[in-house]
Amino acid sequence: MADRHKQTKSKYTLDRKVPGAFEGETVTRRRLMGLGVNGAGIVAASAFLLPALGFAIGPIFSREPFEWQPIGPPADFTQDTYKTETVTIVPGLGEVGKSTAYVRARNPAIDTEPADQYNQFIALSSRCMHLGCPVRFTAAAARFICPCHGGVYNFRGIPVGGPPVRPLDRFYTRVNNGLVELGPRYSVNSELRRFSARDPGQPLDGIGQYLYPARFSTSVLPKN
């Protein structure tokens, strides 16, 4: 019964005998200043965190348009060396949107990954999988060499020296209307298992394949 008659605590600071209170005041100045400081802190933190979050998750939602690009008849490509081709990575940017692909015919004696209609020709990206510097194929040594940080890849594009974390990226290939065509880029791990395109410096072996966002643009095989 006593609880029923217990008086409700007043919302006014003066009634609650708060030191320095004013008539009609419901929030103390100290509390008001605390709320203001906390709010300013949240705004400042958001100014740093939101752009960082957008940068981190942006690749998940990015889509890179592509078109199959003819590069020549099958007879132009042999099994024992690479031919250099120019491929458009980002349409509409002119020379800036182009890159180099090293292309050869598939050699069943060394290309042991499963064969299908999209890899009868091997097309390797020229971007080093350390920091993205351009690599060059040295025919005499049958090696891809990165001049920036000493990355070395064997004839199949698998790293054999230096800091690269995975093999060179590849392009889907196909033969259409009598011409070899290049499709979108994809990444591979040390077993040459296909993954949607990742950025340089992102390993795809073990837990590495789960730590980095996939690019949806190359997560499935092209339909045309």
Rounded to whole angstroms, the Cα distance separating 209 from 186 reads 13
Q: Are 122 and 103 in contact (CB under 8 A)?
A: yes
- Band (pLDDT 50/70/90 cuts) for residue 88 is confident
Report all structural domains of the chain as residue ranges with CATH numbers, in order of start: 1-61 (no CATH), 69-218 (2.102.10.10)
Rounded to whole angstroms, the Cα distance separating 132 from 155 reads 19
pTM over 0.85: no
- pLDDT, tens digit (0-9, with 9 covering 90-100), for 119-152: 999 999 999 999 999 999 999 999 999 999 999 9
- pLDDT, tens digit (0-9, with 9 covering 90-100), for 145-196: 999 999 999 999 999 999 999 999 999 999 999 999 999 999 999 999 999 8
Q: Are 222 and 183 in contact (CB under 8 A)?
A: yes
pLDDT score recorded for residue 178? 95
For 209, phi then psi, to 5°, come to: -70, -15
